[in-house]
Amino acid sequence: MKLQTLRRGTAAAAVLTLSISLAACGSEDDSSDDNAGDTSSAPADTESEAPPAEDTPSEDTGTEESGEFDAVFGPACSSLPADGEPGSLTGMVVDPVATAAGTNPLLKTLVAAVGAVDGLAGTLNDAPALTVFAPTDDAFAAVDPATLQSLLDGAKADGAQSDLATILSHHVLGENLDPAGIVGEQPTLIGDNLTVSGDPESGMTVSDGKVEAKVLCGGIPTANATVYVIDSVLTNAMPTS
């Protein structure tokens, strides 16, 4: 299949300078009663001196109670593994985005495509902040098999300068956007734009001007990115025959 030459991706060469700052939790102030041991100056009152049980700080700092996953939405979220399993919300949140996607059962073809571009997984993992629109396996199955195979073969030869690298980078934004901040026109790593519409309650879509994809499970946090699983490959950057 003869593929037309298209703009090469610049994602692998881009240097992202944003940094992630971690704030420490506030410290507890401990106070002591200087006269606690003086039994002659005040009668013992064990009930008033004992701290109420409900004032004891909770030791449960789980991500669910802290609201880590409150923004996750979409009908396909129920297809994710149970909490604690690889590919679950609690499993993905601790890993950088390429590693986290590798554990998600909905994204096997995407992970294989990223792996075919030498160095791309590392570039995505090392970036401080990204948003990734991740097509499902079914989305890739709708792409012409010969075209997909040609892209994979080209990636072996051209790496980060390949057509496949350009297409994948077309699905990535250079900042970390949750559902509350993602609606509107957003620039991708290759310099074109995606338009995100809707909301978590009524449904959200992303369009590149050629394809409009539905968000099946969005707002998934990873260590350095937010992932939106979509039902179609955004093909505006796809070579044509």
Residue with tokens 């593929």: 3
Whole-structure pTM value: 0.74
**Rounded CA gap, 162 and 177, in Å?**
27
pLDDT of residue 241: 58
SS3 53: helix
Long-range contact list for 183-187, CB < 8 A, 24+ apart?
Answer: 186/131
Q: Is the pLDDT of residue 27 over 90?
A: no
Burial of 88 (0-12, 13-18, 19+ CB in 10 A): middle
In the chain the domains, ranked by start, together with CATH numbers, are 75-230 (2.30.180.10)
Q: Given pLDDT bands bounded at 50, 70 and 90, which one contains residue 171? A: very high
pLDDT greater than 60 at residue 150: yes
Q: Of the given ranges (25-39, 54-68, 97-111), which has the lowest mean pLDDT?
A: 25-39
Read off φ and ψ for residue 188, nearest 5 degrees.
-95, 175
Helix, strand, coil % over all residues of the chain, rounded to 5: 25, 15, 55
Whether residue 43 is predicted with pLDDT greater than 50 in this model: the reply is no
**What's the pLDDT at 84?**
84
Exposed, middle or buried: residue 148 (CB in 10 Å: 0-12, 13-18, 19+)? middle
Beta bridge partners of 131: 173, 226
Name which residue leads in pLDDT, 168 or 44.
168
Q: Which of 18-27, 53-62, 143-152, 192-201 has the lowest mean pLDDT?
A: 18-27
